[in-house]
Amino acid sequence: MIIVMKPDATPAQVEHVIEKIKELGLKPNVSKGVERTVIGVIGVDDRARVEPLEVYPGVDSVTPIGRSYKLVSRRFHPDNSVILVGPNTAVGGEKIVVMAGPCSVESREQLKAVGDAVKKAGAAFLRGGAFKPRTSPYSFQGLGEEGLKYLREQGDACGLPVVTEVMDTRQVELVVQYADMLQVGARNMQNFDLLREVGQAKKPILLKRGLSSTIEELLLSAEYIASKGNMKIVLCERGIRTFETATRNTMDLSAIPVLKVETHLPVIADPSHGTGSWTYVLPMARAAVAAGADGIMIEVHHAPETAKSDGPQSLKPAKFEMLMKEIRAVAEAIGRSV
């Protein structure tokens, strides 16, 4: 249920409603918007108990949320959420953020070469996997904690927040110590135990859409994280499985505007995994920005032919620089910046 307070409701009236909800044994989730305060009440059989609150002073309306996801729904929180990552990087504001770096952290030298290059070109985040979800158990699985150390080192050296994947509940405690943002990858989007675990972490989460997941399923996975108390979530469209084989995945561009309507959470897009080929990364990055993405994630490698993972979809630094220039122009055309 959603209780929308009147624009002129006093703090005391809001507090009165909150107290009443607690008395009913329910949990209020308060969202203070620019214009009004909205209080979400989430429970299985809350309707009969909450509806009478409509007559309370300061209450405008009491309505069912009407969606399977609630805390992440824009109905609960009408304004865009802006998520702060690291000391001063905002995701979801007017500025479009670019997260860039190699698919896998391979060595200190590799990460320095790529990290310095993406920073110079204007990236806002350094990305890199230390725990890699590989289709084959014989493929490179990532450097683990050693990779996290290089990532932290390079992030600090070039002044960028770092985002990296956590694959297992048992890794969360470790990854939290090194990363500014935890990535839950496509293959783990419905690992509900992991979602609950990162929901208790004190770091923002980048949640990628599952390979065969609907938009509603993505939002319900975000709801798992939010329901554990962590509202700092950024969603990522990274391509889905379809009958098409010309690209590695089919990048679902329409998911971007759909998500922007359905949720207040920031939405980014990953054209590297979305297409699987460096040739298509630049046009799809431009398209994602035009479609309203709050950011993009791009795989960059100084020597893609030697990359331990995802070389074919990695941009060389010079191409990445060109991408930054081009998306800047697109962003400006829609009243945003990069």
Binding-site partner at residue 264 among ligand PEP, Mn ion, none, CB < 5 to 8 Å by type: none
Q: How many residues bind ligand PEP (CB under 6 A)?
A: 9
Binding-site partner at residue 197 among Mn ion, ligand PEP, none, CB < 5 to 8 Å by type: none
Angle between helix 145-158 and 108-121 (nearest 10): 30
Q: Does 129 interact with ligand PEP (rule: CB under 6 A)?
A: yes
CB atoms within 10 A of CB 93: 17
Among the listed residues 236, 310, 319, 327, the single contact to Mn ion using CB under 5 A: 310
CB of 251 to ligand PEP, least distance (A): 11
Contact at 8 Å (CB) between 270 and 208? yes
Name the residue nearer to Mn ion (CB basis): 106 or 310. 310
Pairing of strands 205-208, 181-184: parallel
CB atoms within 10 A of CB 27: 12
Pairing of strands 28-32, 181-184: unpaired
Q: Does 203 interact with ligand PEP (rule: CB under 6 A)?
A: no
Segment lying near ligand PEP (by CB under 6 A), choices 52-60, 85-93, 180-188, 217-225? 180-188
Q: Does 238 interact with ligand PEP (rule: CB under 6 A)?
A: yes
Among the listed residues 208, 248, 301, 308, the single contact to ligand PEP using CB under 6 A: 208
Q: Does 103 interact with ligand PEP (rule: CB under 6 A)?
A: yes
For residue 50, the SS3 value is helix
Segment lying near Mn ion (by CB under 5 A), choices 25-33, 101-109, 188-196, 225-233? 101-109
Name the residue nearer to ligand PEP (CB basis): 3 or 285. 285
The secondary element (H helix, E strand) that includes residue 326 is helix 317-333
Contact at 8 Å (CB) between 151 and 164? yes
Burial 30-54 (b: 16+ CB within 10 A, else e): ebeeeebbbbbbbeeebeebbeebe
CB of 115 to Mn ion, least distance (A): 16
For the residues of 285-315, what is the DSSP string, one character each?
HHHHHHTT-SEEEEEB-SSGGG-SS-GGGPB
Positions touching ligand PEP (CB under 6 A) are 103, 129, 133, 185-187, 208, 238, 273
Positions touching Mn ion (CB under 5 A) are 103, 310
